[in-house]
Each structure stands twice: as structure tokens, then as C-alpha cells.
Amino acid sequence: MNRLDQHRILVTGAGSGIGQATALRLLEEGGAVVAADVSSEGLARTRGSAKEAGTDERLTLLDMNVGDESSVVSGVREAVDGLGGLDALVNAAGILRASHTHETSAEMWEQVIGINLTGTFFVVREALPALLQNESGVVVNFSSTSAAFGHPYMAAYAASKGGIQSFTHALALEYGKQGLRAVCVAPGSVKSGITDATQGYVPADADWSLFAKLSPILPTALESGGAGMGGPAQVAGVIAMLVSDDGAFISGTEIRIDGGTHA
């Protein structure tokens, strides 16, 4: 399926997890992709997977730190110049830190908000001029089920994802008449580097019964921390739809991808 032929796409967080799976899926469907990440090693693995799939000729790697404004300004410019324009942006970069809220330091709070929320803003702001040159540009931002449902010990993360969700609604309304679509995906119970590390972040005295409502109801083939999980490729497939013409009438909303966890 080549529904993304002639599509020029920037994907952040493309060195691992859902971001990596998304970059590979967009390449598979014919897109030209700039894969951005702070990890050069992760990007090298993304290239290796694309090479195995025979799609690496349409892949460009970009070292970019979304939490650093100057890195984003220069990085997005490089991506747009290299692609000759921009049709879609996928903001998958993000981090998770966990602690008791009353023990959360200002430094931790600002780190999570700075990378997840402010980083998403930086990339969108820099990409908008190029996206608005098209009649149908697309922004896909990453929220989380934590934005709408309680996730214990993750107040900073949940706040950042709720902010991204609200930010995306504002984008959709502000730029809709110019043809821009802005959508959030809200993954939950999806295996990634973040979920694999969660158990190490959660406080040692955590009440694990509080996580009882965070398990998917659909059968899963993967697990992380002993919990059933979906795969990153299942999120990537939804994103491919959203940035293609199949998603042409979807904007200003969230799509929850969690195996029915919050049914």
C-alpha cells in the first residue's frame, strides 16, 4: 500500500518505540521520512530496520533534542530543506518520570513538561510555516490515556499529556480554515521503552493495586512489567491513516489506542 507517495513527513522520537515503528510504517507506505531523535544509536537502529525493509532510500536521520529550542529551530529547518517542504509532522518524542507528587522536585516537573509539552510546542511552531504552504498539512501529537484517566505517581507526565491534548485542539481550530489538521493519539498499554522502564521509576513503596484499572481487555501478545501490552506497530498503523487522505476529515480530537483498557 503506497497511500503516502509524495508525502514528506517529520517524525520525532523516531529512535525507539512507537516513534520508530511509526517512521518505519510511513516509509513502508511510500512516504519520505526525516527521523529525528536525541539518540544517534537509536536512529542507527531505525536505519538498519529500514534497510532490511528496502525503504532506507527515503529515510533521513536527524539528531535533534526537542527540549532544546535552538536544536529544534535548526533541526526543523534542516528537515524541511532536505525534504523540499513538509506535509505532515508526528511528535512522538517524550519521556516519563514517576514519583509521589509530594516528593516531585521542581527539576523533575520542569524536565517532563519541558520535553513533552514545551518540546511539542517548539517543533509544531517551527514546522507550521512549511505545513501551511500545503492545502492539507497534518500534525499528529502524542497524548496519553493518562491525560483523561488516573495514572498514579505520574502527575507531571499526565499534566504534560493533558496540555498536549488542549494544545492540539487549539491548533485544529486556529488553522483549520487553512487546511491544517491537528490530531492527538492517546496510547495506553502499548509496549515501548517508556513502559519497560516504568517499574524502575515508580516509587519503591508504590501501591500497585492502583494500577489495576490499567490493563487492556483485548488479548495481547506482549507484556511489559508483567502487564499485557499492545505493540508499537498497532499505534503506527493508526498514525499512517491519520497522515494519509484516509484521515482527511479527522481533526481536533483524540484517538485512544489502548486495547479497551478504559472501555
What are the chain's domains?
8-257 (3.40.50.720)
What confidence score (pLDDT) does residue 16 get? 96
CA distance 93 to 120: 8
Active site residue 157: yes
Q: Residue 216 in 3-state DSSP?
A: coil
User: Which residues of the chain fall below pLDDT 50?
Assistant: none
What confidence score (pLDDT) does residue 229 get? 85
With pLDDT > 70 as the criterion, what percentage of the chain qualifies?
96
User: What is the CB neighbour count within 10 angstroms for residue 165?
Assistant: 19
Q: Please state the φ and ψ torsions of residue 128, each to the nearest 5 degrees.
A: -55, -45
Q: Taking Cα atoms as reference points, which of 31, 35, 27, 32 lies closest to residue 54?
A: 27
Q: pLDDT tens digits for 171-187?
A: 999 999 999 999 999 99
Q: pLDDT tens digits for 129-143?
A: 999 999 999 999 999
- Secondary structure of 112-127 in the HEC alphabet? HHHHHHHHHHHHHHHH
CA distance 90 to 187: 14
Q: In this structure, what is the dihedral angle of CA atoms 12, 17, 23, 27, given to the nearest 10 degrees?
A: 170
Give me the sign of the Cα torsion angle 237, 242, 248, 251: positive
**Choice among 153, 157, 175, 201 that is catalytic:** 157
What confidence score (pLDDT) does residue 107 get? 98
What confidence score (pLDDT) does residue 139 get? 99
Radius of gyration of the chain (CA): 17
What confidence score (pLDDT) does residue 215 get? 85
CA distance 223 to 58: 32
